[in-house]
C-alpha cells in the first residue's frame, strides 16, 4: 500500500481483529529489512507516528488466552510489494526547466495507446497533494472501474496538482500485469516532452527498473531512471535499467508483455510504420529506418514479392511454416503442444489436458494446464527453501479469523472452514524467507501465513485445484471429489491407445503416437488436423516431437 513520507498508522486500519494479537512490541529498524531494537513500552493509543519505512510494521505478541504462544505480525504488505513502491521522483531545484527530446527511447518496446480519458466535469478520485495517497486512490479506481470497462496492461494518471515537496511522480516497481500496474505524474512543466520523460521514468518502475546509481551508464548526460530530473531531458535507459528489465522478464514472466493489442483497440488512426498491422495493411515492420524485415515493404506496409507472411509464430523465411512445426511447446505434463496449420501465421488455440489427471507423481491433479501443489505455492510466497506446514497449522482454518479462514464474503467478514475443508483454506508454510513476496504475514509456533486488507489481492489462500486428499481437490475452498469438482464426462476412457483428453473434451494423441487409435509410432512428418467426434473419437493430431533413433532430431525449432 503506498504511503507518504510520513504516515499515521492506526492499528484499526490494518486489521480490525488485531485484539487477537496483544502485548505486542514495536520493532524499530535502522535500515530496510533489518530489525535493530525493540521498544517494549506498551502502546496506549491506537495510532503510531512512524517514518516512511517498511520496517515500522513488525509486531510481536501472543495469541489471546494462550500464554505459551508467540506471534509475529507484519503489516508491511510483503517484501515484493514494498519493493514496488519507489522513492519519489524529484526535480532538481536548480534546473526546473527541461529541454531536448526523448528520441528513439520507446522504439525498444511495443507500446500502444488504447485509451485516453480526460476528466472535464469532475475528478473520478480524490486527487490530493500527497503523491502516495493519490496513487492509492487511482490504483483502486483503476482496478474497480477502469479495468472492467477498458482492459489494458498499464495506466497512469497525469494531474495538474502540485504534489508535496519536490515530488513529480510515483509508481510501483515490477508491477506490470498486476493490480498495481499504475503510476501518477505531475504536469510539472509547460513542455510536454518533459512530462513525457517523467512518465517514461514511472513506467520504467512498473517494468522492474530501480533508480540509477552512479555506476549506471547510458548515452547522454542523464538517464531516464535517474532519481532526480536535471536540466537535460533523458533520452535513454541505462545499463542498470536494461539489467533490471531483463531480470523482471525472466523472474516474473509477465503475461501481458507477450501479446500485441488488437489494432482495433488503438485510439490513433491507422498509420503505416507504427508497428501494428491495421486495416489496409498486410504487414508493418515499423519505420523505413527501423525495418529489417525482408518480407515486408516498410514504405507501403505490403508483403514483398513471393512472401506469404512477414511475422508470427508460424512464419519463417517469409513462408508459412509446415504443419509439423511446434509453435507452442508443452509447458508441463498438464499442458499439450500446439502445431502450425501450414495455412496461417497464428499458432492455434492453446489447449491443455483435461482437469483431474494425476500429475507430479500423484502429488496433485491437473487443473487448467497446471499441477497446483501447496509446496509450489509456499515457494512462490516465501522463496525456494519454503515448505508446507504440518497439518496442525491447517486446523487453525476453523477459527474464521483474518489469518485462518475458508471464505471471505466481505472485506471484514471471515468464515472458518469445516473440519473436512481445512486443507483448502489459508495456506500455511514453514521455513523460506523472513518476509513474504506478497501481502502481510503472521507467524506463530511453526506456522506462518499471509493476509491482506483487500480480498481481491489476498494471495494467501490455497489455490483452486490443489489436492486435499486421495481423489479430492479444492474447489470454492471446499475439499470435494474429482467427479464433483470437474463434472467428469469419462472423456479419457473414450480415448483409444496412447491418447489423452484435452480441456475441450477432445482426444489427442500423446507425443510420438499417431491417430486414429494412437497406438503406433511414426518416424516421418504428417499433417495434423483436428479432433472430430462423430459417434467415435477420431483424432488427427501431430505428436509433439517426431520420434527418431537420433536424439538430435528431437530438437525442433520453435
Cβ 206 vs Cβ 171: under 8 Å: yes
Rg of the Cα atoms in the chain = 27
Instruction: Give 322: exposed, middle or buried? Use CB within 10 Å, 0-12, 13-18, 19+.
Output: middle
Together in a domain, 173 and 132: yes
Instruction: Give the span between the Cα atoms of 342 and 324, in whole angstroms.
Output: 8
Measured CA to CA in angstroms, residue 204 lies from 69, 154, 163, 300 at distances of 44, 11, 20, 33
* pLDDT tens track for 358-399: 999 999 999 988 999 999 999 999 999 999 999 999 999 999
Please, where are the H alpha helices in 294-384? Answer: 374-382
Nearest CA-CA partner of 22 in 56, 60, 58: 60
Together in a domain, 23 and 93: no
Cβ 124 vs Cβ 211: under 8 Å: no
* Cα torsion angle, 263, 269, 273, 279, sign: positive
Together in a domain, 47 and 183: no
Cis peptide before 496 (omega within 30 of 0): no
Domain-embedded: residue 279: no
Together in a domain, 52 and 197: no
Nearest CA-CA partner of 208 in 178, 166, 164: 178
Least confident segment among 38-47, 58-67, 307-316, 371-380: 38-47
Helix or strand run (H / E) with residue 484: helix 482-486
Together in a domain, 89 and 230: yes
Nearest CA-CA partner of 491 in 528, 542, 536: 536
* pLDDT tens track for 394-435: 999 999 999 999 999 988 899 999 999 999 999 999 999 988
Which CATH number characterizes residue 220's domain?
Answer: 3.40.390.10
Together in a domain, 113 and 59: no
Together in a domain, 140 and 212: yes
Domain-embedded: residue 554: no
Instruction: Give pLDDT, residue 303.
Output: 96
* pLDDT tens track for 470-522: 999 999 999 999 988 987 666 767 777 777 777 777 777 776 666 567 777 74
Which residue is listed with cell 512472401?
Answer: 307
The whole-number average pLDDT for the span 287-294 is 92
Please provide the size of the chain in residues. 558
Residue 110's CB: how many other CB atoms inside 10 A?
14
Considering only residues 175 and 95, tell me which one the structure prediction assigns the higher pLDDT.
175
Cβ 222 vs Cβ 234: under 8 Å: yes
**Domain final position from 468, 486, 504:** 486
Nearest CA-CA partner of 430 in 439, 443, 420: 443
Cis peptide before 349 (omega within 30 of 0): no
323: which 3 cell numbers?
Answer: 504443419
Report the SS3 class of residue 330. Answer: coil
Measured CA to CA in angstroms, residue 418 lies from 351, 392, 470 at distances of 35, 14, 18
Instruction: Give the span between the Cα atoms of 199 and 207, in whole angstroms.
Output: 12
Mean pLDDT over each residue of the chain, to the nearest integer: 74
* Cα torsion angle, 250, 350, 286, 232, sign: negative
Check the annotation: does 156 bind a ligand: no
How sure is the predictor about 110, in pLDDT bands with cuts at 50, 70 and 90?
Answer: low
Instruction: Give 412: exposed, middle or buried? Use CB within 10 Å, 0-12, 13-18, 19+.
Output: exposed
Phi-psi region at 113: left, alpha or beta (left = phi > 0; alpha = psi -120 to 50): beta
Strand ranges (DSSP E) for 497-536? 499-501, 507-509, 513-514, 520-521, 532-533
The whole-number average pLDDT for the span 241-254 is 86
Instruction: Give the span between the Cα atoms of 75 and 82, in whole angstroms.
Output: 11
The whole-number average pLDDT for the span 320-327 is 85
Together in a domain, 144 and 253: yes
**Domain final position from 469, 486, 503:** 486
**Domain final position from 234, 258, 282:** 258
Domain-embedded: residue 295: no
- pLDDT over 90 (residue 306): yes
Say how many domains are in the chain. 3
Which domain, by its residues, includes 375?
Answer: 358-486
**DSSP track, 29-70:** EEETTEEEEEE-SPP-SSEEEEES-TTTTEEEEEETT-TT--
- pLDDT over 80 (residue 38): no
Residue 534's CB: how many other CB atoms inside 10 A?
6
Check the annotation: does 211 bind a ligand: yes
Domain-embedded: residue 527: no
Nearest CA-CA partner of 353 in 338, 339, 367, 373: 367
Q: Could you give phi then psi for residue 236, rounded to 5 degrees?
A: -140, 155
The whole-number average pLDDT for the span 174-179 is 88
Instruction: Give the span between the Cα atoms of 201 and 357, in whole angstroms.
Output: 46
Check the annotation: does 201 bind a ligand: yes
Domain-embedded: residue 280: no
444: which 3 cell numbers?
Answer: 506463530
Domain-embedded: residue 221: yes
Domain-embedded: residue 482: yes
Together in a domain, 239 and 383: no
Together in a domain, 119 and 72: no
* Cα torsion angle, 493, 495, 500, 504, sign: negative
Cβ 276 vs Cβ 264: under 8 Å: no
Among residues of the chain, what percentage have pLDDT more than 90?
Answer: 37
Cβ 521 vs Cβ 545: under 8 Å: no
Report the SS3 class of residue 145. Answer: helix
From 17, 68, 202, 387, the catalytic residue:
202
Nearest CA-CA partner of 82 in 32, 139, 39: 32
Together in a domain, 30 and 176: no
Report the SS3 class of residue 450. Answer: strand
Report the SS3 class of residue 341. Answer: coil
Domain-embedded: residue 544: no
Together in a domain, 374 and 410: yes
Residue 202 a catalytic site member: yes
Amino acid at each position: 500500500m503506498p504511503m507518504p513520507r510520513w504516515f499515521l498508522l492506526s492499528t484499526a486500519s490494518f486489521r480490525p481483529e488485531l485484539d487477537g494479537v496483544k502485548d505486542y512490541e514495536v520493532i524499530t529498524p535502522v535500515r530496510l529489512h533489518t530489525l535493530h531494537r525493540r521498544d517494549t513500552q506498551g502502546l496506549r493509543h491506537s495510532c503510531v507516528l512512524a517514518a516512511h519505512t517498511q520496517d515500522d510494521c513488525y509486531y510481536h505478541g501472543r495469541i489471546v488466552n494462550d500464554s505459551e504462544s508467540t506471534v509475529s505480525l507484519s503489516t508491511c504488505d510483503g517484501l515484493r510489494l514494498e519493493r514496488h513502491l519507489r522513492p519519489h521522483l524529484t526535480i532538481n531545484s536548480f534546473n526546473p526547466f527541461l529541454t531536448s527530446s526523448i528520441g528513439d527511447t520507446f522504439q525498444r518496446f511495443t507500446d500502444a495507446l488504447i485509451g485516453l480519458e480526460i476528466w472535464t466535469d469532475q475528478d473520478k478520485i480524490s486527487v490530493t497533494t500527497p503523491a502516495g495517497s493519490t496513487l492509492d486512490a487511482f490504483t483502486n479506481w483503476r482496478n474497480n472501474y477502469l479495468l472492467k470497462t477498458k482492459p489494458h496492461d498499464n495506466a497512469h494518471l497525469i494531474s495538474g496538482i502540485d504534489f508535496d515537496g519536490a515530488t513529480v511522480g510515483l509508481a510501483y516497481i515490477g508491477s506490470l500485469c498486476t493490480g498495481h500496474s499504475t503510476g501518477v505524474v505531475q504536469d510539472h512543466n509547460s513542455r510536454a516532452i518533459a512530462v513525457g520523460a517523467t512518465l517514461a521514468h514511472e513506467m520504467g518502475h512498473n517494468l522492474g527498473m530501480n533508480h540509477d546509481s552512479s555506476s549506471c551508464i547510458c548515452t547522454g548526460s542523464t538517464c531516464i531512471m535517474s532519481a532526480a530530473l536535471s536540466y537535460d531531458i533523458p533520452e535513454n535507459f541505462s545499463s542498470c535499467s536494461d539489467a533490471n528489465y531483463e531480470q523482471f522478464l525472466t523472474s516474473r514472466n509477465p503475461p501481458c508483455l507477450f501479446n500485441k493489442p488488437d489494432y482495433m483497440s488503438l485510439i490513433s488512426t491507422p498509420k503505416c510504420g507504427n508497428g501494428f498491422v491495421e486495416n489496409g495493411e498486410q504487414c508493418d515492420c515499423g519505420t523505413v529506418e527501423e525495418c529489417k524485415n525482408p518480407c515486408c515493404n516498410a514504405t507501403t506496409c505490403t508483403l514483398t514479392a513471393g512472401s506469404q507472411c512477414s511475422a508470427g509464430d508460424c512464419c519463417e523465411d517469409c513462408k508459412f511454416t509446415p504443419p509439423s512445426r511446434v509453435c507452442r511447446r508443452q509447458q508441463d505434463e498438464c499442458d499439450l503442444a500446439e502445431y502450425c496449420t501450414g495455412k496461417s501465421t497464428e499458432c492455434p488455440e492453446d489447449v491443455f489436458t483435461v482437469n483431474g489427471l494425476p500429475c507430479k507423481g500423484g502429488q496433485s491433479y491437473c487443473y487448467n494446464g497446471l499441477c497446483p501443489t501447496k509446496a509450489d505455492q509456499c515457494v512462490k510466497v516465501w522463496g525456494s527453501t519454503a515448505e508446507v506446514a504440518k497439518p496442525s497449522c491447517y486446523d487453525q482454518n476453523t477459527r474464521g479469523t483474518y489469518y485462518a479462514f475458508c471464505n471471505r464474503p466481505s472485506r471484514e467478514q471471515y468464515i472458518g472452514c469445516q473440519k473436512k475443508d481445512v486443507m483448502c483454506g489459508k495456506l500455511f508454510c514453514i521455513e523460506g524467507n523472513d518476509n513474504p513476496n506478497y501481502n502481510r504475514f503472521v507467524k506463530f509456533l511453526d506456522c506462518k501465513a499471509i493476509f491482506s486488507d483487500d480480498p481481491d489481492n489476498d494471495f494467501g489462500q490455497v489455490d483452486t485445484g490443489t489436492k486435499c486428499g486421495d481423489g479430492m481437490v479444492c474447489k470454492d475452498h471446499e475439499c470435494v471429489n474429482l467427479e464433483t469438482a470437474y463434472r467428469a464426462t469419462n472423456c479419457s476412457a473414450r480415448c483409444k491407445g496412447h491418447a489423452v483428453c484435452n480441456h475441450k473434451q477432445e482426444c489427442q494423441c500423446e507425443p510420438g503416437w499417431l491417430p486414429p487409435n494412437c497406438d503406433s509410432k511414426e518416424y516421418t512428418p504428417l499433417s495434423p488436423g483436428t479432433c472430430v467426434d462423430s459417434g467415435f473419437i477420431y483424432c488427427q493430431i501431430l505428436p509433439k516431437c517426431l520420434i527418431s533413433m537420433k536424439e538430435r532430431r528431437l530438437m525442433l525449432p520453435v
